[in-house]
Amino acid sequence: MQRLGVGQGASWIAEGWRLLRSRMTLVIGVVILTYVLLFLASMLPFVGNVVVALASPFLMGGIYVVLHRLREINRRAEAEPLAREQPISWDLLFSVFQNPAPRKSLIGYALVSLGFQLLVLLILAGFVAVALSGIDHTVLTDPTATDKQRIEQLWPILTSPSAGILWVTVLVMSVLYGMAVFFVVPLIVLRGAKLWPAMRASFAAVTVNWLPFLVYALIWVLLILTVPFTLGLSLILIGPLMITSVYASFEDIWPEAASSDDETSGSDKPPFEPQEHTSTVM
């Protein structure tokens, strides 16, 4: 694992854009197809959310496989220009479903994700239940009540000073969880890591590279602010760019040649130990 300079936060987005631009139709296509498939899965009665949680890591892994293949072709094209014309099959998006190696870890990640969501919901539900004790809250269960009436009763509770502590707690939990899973899918799919070593490595990578990630996040805030001005059309590029830039940061922190010697498959030793590496590429 590399410890990078602050300027790398901007270079990840620049590299992600170069990767996206090299096969724009392909990258945008696989990302949109993934979103469509997950949306359709979410419409399944009773089991929609579970199916989405289980399928998401596999489809995201497929996107990273496509990006990895695209980057290999782009690198080869530097010496062999004709390599740039090599086709990339859309079947790669579903290749992770057929690969037994990462299956257990990806399913485990899906279960961890569901568990975290359930924990947050239980915390919020518990807070609301305690806050409503001793208060007439029949309007919340009254089938004739409108959503406006329910919101009017819940709003003072959710904006109270005690609720502020709750929201800060949930925010901190979400940030820590996000750090632990930020690189989990590419680590499992592209580097062969197991779930828990991948989560530890992801958390460590974001922690030691907090400065470039701060720059990265600030740039993304500015990019997302452009969405209303484009009537949402910029999302067609922003969504895929977000994924390609994450892939670029992953490859920057864990260069493939260096990671091939790491023990990622099941040892309790934290994989991808940090190394000092300051890049001047912008």
- What are 8-33's pLDDT values in tens digits? 999 999 999 999 999 999 999 999 99
| Nearest-angstrom CA–CA distance, 244 and 12 | 9
Are the C-beta atoms of 184 and 109 separated by less than 8 Å?
yes
pLDDT tens series, the chain, 282 aa: 888 888 899 999 999 999 999 999 999 999 999 999 999 999 999 899 999 999 999 999 999 999 999 999 988 887 787 767 788 888 999 999 999 999 999 999 999 999 999 999 999 989 888 888 877 777 777 778 788 888 888 888 888 888 889 999 999 999 999 999 999 999 999 999 999 999 999 999 999 999 999 999 999 999 999 899 888 888 999 999 999 999 999 999 998 765 444 444 444 343 444 444 444 333
Q: Using alpha carbons only, what angle is made at residue 280 by residues 279 and 282, rounded to the nearest 5 degrees?
A: 110
pLDDT at 257: 63
pLDDT for 160 equals 85
Q: How far apart are CA 192 and CA 147, in angstroms?
A: 48
pTM (two decimals): 0.85
Write down the pLDDT at residue 161.
85
CA neighbor of 241 nearest in space, from 27, 23, 74, 11: 27
**Cα–Cα distance measured from residue 54 to residue 110, given in angstroms and rounded to the nearest whole number:** 5
Interval 76-128: pLDDT, tens: 887 787 767 788 888 999 999 999 999 999 999 999 999 999 999 999 989 88
Under a CB-based contact definition with an 8 Å cutoff, are residues 240 and 31 in contact?
Answer: yes
Name 204's Cβ contacts closer than 8 Å, sequence gap at least 6. Answer: 1, 270, 272, 274
Give yes or no for a contact between 86 and 92, defined as CB atoms under 8 angstroms apart. no
CA 176 – CA 178 distance, rounded (Å) = 5
